[in-house]
Structure 1
Amino acid sequence: MIKLFRSKIYLALFLMVAVLIFGVMGYRFISDYSWIDAFYMTIITVTTVGFSEVRPMGPEGKIFTVFLIITSVFIVGFAISVITEYILSRNSVQLLKKKKVKNSIDKLINHVVVCGFGRNGMQAAERLKAYKKPFVVIEKDKEVIERYDNEVLFIEGDANDDEVLISAGIERAQYLIATLPDDAANLFVVLSARQLNKGLFIISRASLVTSQKKLFLAGADKVIMPDKIGGDHMASLVVMPDLITFMDKLSMEGEHTINLEEVAIEDFANKVDCNSIRDLDLRRKTGCTIIGYIAPEGEYIINPEADLVLRPNSKVIVLGRPEQIRKLNEMFHIQ
C-alpha cells in the first residue's frame, strides 16, 4: 500500500514539473516573454496568487493562461490529495502494524523476551527462530526496528522500563535474555524482570568479570561473557584444532543443520516403554545416539550407560545428523 502511494506521489511531482515546463515554454514562445518573465508568469498563474501580468497579453496568451490555470488546478489538487492520503495512510498502517504486533504478543505463552537487538541479540534471535521458539525483542533504536520488523516481533522502548517489559509479556514469559552492551543496563533489566516474574529463567550478557556476581545477586540464572567465550574458542583452536573443528560441525544454526537435540522423557512416555535408555532404542529406530542425561535435580551425566533408569522430569541429549534428528522429531512428535 505504501509503495502504491509513493508511485502516486512520483506521478504527481512529475505532472507538476511538466506543467511548469509547459507554462514557461508557452509564455516564452506564445507571448514572447523573456525566460525570467515566462517563469514568473507560470508561477503566479499556477499558484493563483492574483498578481498582474508582466505586460498585456494578446488573445493567444489569454487563452493559453486560461488553459494553464484549469490544468494546474487539477494537477495541484491531485498532488495535495495524494500527499494527504499518503500521510494519513502511513499513520494508519503504522497503527495497524502496532496493533497486529500487540495482538501477536498477547497470544504468546512461555516465550522468550530478548532485550536489545545488537550483535548478540541478533544471534540469539536467529537461534531461537531456527528452533521455532517464540520470542519478542525489546529495542529502542527505531532504525533497527524498521529494518527488521518484517522478521521479528518488536517492542519499541527501553528494556529498563517496567511498562515496556509488561507489554512484551514478561509475566507470561519463560525466559529473558539481556544482551544490552552496558552491564549496568543489563543489571537493571535483570532486577526489574525478576520482580515482575519470579519464575523467569534469566540469561544475561556481561562484559566485565566483576559484573558477574552482581548479575547473579540481581536474579540472573546464567551469565554469559561473549568475549571470554570467543577467546577460549580461539585458544582451543591452537591447542586441539581438530576437536574444536569437529565441535563446530555440531552446528545448530538452522533446521537443516541441527545435530543436537534436548528431549524430555515425557515426550517418549506415551510412545514406548522407557524405563531405561536401552528401552528407548533410539539408535535402531532413528539413528540418533544418546550422549547425555540430565537428572530431575539438574545432575549431568555424560555418555550414560544403556541400563540407566530414566526418571520423570529428566531429559536426554541426543546426537545425530540433521535427517536423523528430523526423523526423531517426527516419530515422537517433538516440538
Structure 2
Amino acid sequence: MRKITLKILTRISTRIVASGLILVIALFIYGIIGSIIIMDLNFIDSIYYTVTTMATVGYGDYLPHTGIQKMFATTLAIGGVGLLAYVFNLILTNFQERMSRFSKGARKMGTIKNMDDYFILCGYGRVGKVVFEELTQRNQNVIVIDKSEEVCENINESNSVVVLQRDATEDDLISELAGEKCNSVIISTGDDVTNLFIVLTIRETNQNTWIVTRASKMENISRLRKAGADKIVSPEVIGGKDLYYEATTPHVLRLTVRHSSDEILNEFKVISKYGCTLETIDYHIPGIETPLKRKIKTMNMEDGMRYTNYLKSHPDAKAALDNLYNSTNNIHSHLISGPDRATFDKLIKDLETKEKILGKNLSDKEIAKMTRKYLE
C-alpha cells in the first residue's frame, strides 16, 4: 500500500503543483515587501516575519502598532491560511481522484482476468460503435480502448464489457491483452497512421494474434498488411460496393429456378447473350431459410466454358456439385444484373424454354416455404 501511495503522489499533476507554488511565492513576496515598507524591518527579519505570519505561528517579537501595520498583518495571515488550505485541498483532491482511478483500474483488470476470452476494440468512433453493437448483440466479451474520456464515460460497462481510457499507440497494455485469451483485435480508428502503430505494437510481441484493421485510404492497405494486419477493411471500398448495388437495384433480378448441374452452361449462355452479369447463386436447402450463397460476378462466356471444362476434367468436383444440387432438389436462385427491365423480360422468356422458373424476386422466406414440401 505504501508503494502504491508513493507512486500516486509522484504522479500528481505538475500543473496543480506549479499553480499552488506560484500562489505561495506571490504571497511570500507580498509579505516580504510589505514587511520592509510597512513594518520597517530589514530583509532577513522580513522573511522571518512573513513566514511566521503566513503560518499563523506569531511569536510576538514583532507586533504591528499602527492601523496600516495591523491591516497588513491581517491580510498576510488570512492570505497564508486560505492559500495553504487551498493548495492542500487541490493536492488532496487530485490524490483522491488518482486513488479512485487506480482502484477502478484494478477492478477492470480483475474483470478482464476473469474473462475466458474477449475481443479488443481500439477506437469507438462511428465505425467502432457499429462493431461494438455487433459484438455485444452476440454476447461477446469486449475490451474497448479509446483515449477520449468523454467517449469512455458514455459506454456502459458490465462483466462482459470493459472500457479502458488509454492511447493504444503509447501504451504497452494492448500488447499484454492481445495474448492467448484474445480472439481478435479490431482497430477502427479513423487515422491510418494510428492504426499502423497499433498493428506494429501488437505484432512485436504477439505473432499469432488475429488483427483486423480499418483503412481509410486505399493506398494504406498494403502498408497495413506489411505491418502485420491479417485483414484490412476499407469503408471506402465497402461503401462503393453498397452504392453500386443500390444504384443497380432497379436493374437486378432474382430468379429462382430448378435444374441439374448439367444445364449450367446452357443457362449461362442465355445470361451472357443479353449482356447480363450473374452476380450470385443461392442454394436453398429444404427447411433452412438462409441459403448458401456463392459469389460469381461474371458475364464473360469464357468463364462459363472454363468452369464447364474444369468439371469435366475433375470428376470429384463434379460429384461434389451434384451432391449439392441433390441436397437442394436442384432449386437455387440467381441474382442477375442487367441494363434494363426490357432485357430481363427477354432473358426470362428465353430461359423458360430451357429450364423451370419457380419465381421472380422471391424472398428467402417464400422460397423456404416452397421447399418445405421436400421434407415430407
The TM-score normalised by the length of structure 1 is 0.46
Q: Which has the larger radius of gyration?
A: 2
Greater relative contact order: 1 or 2 (C-alpha under 8 angstroms, separation 6 or more)?
A: 2
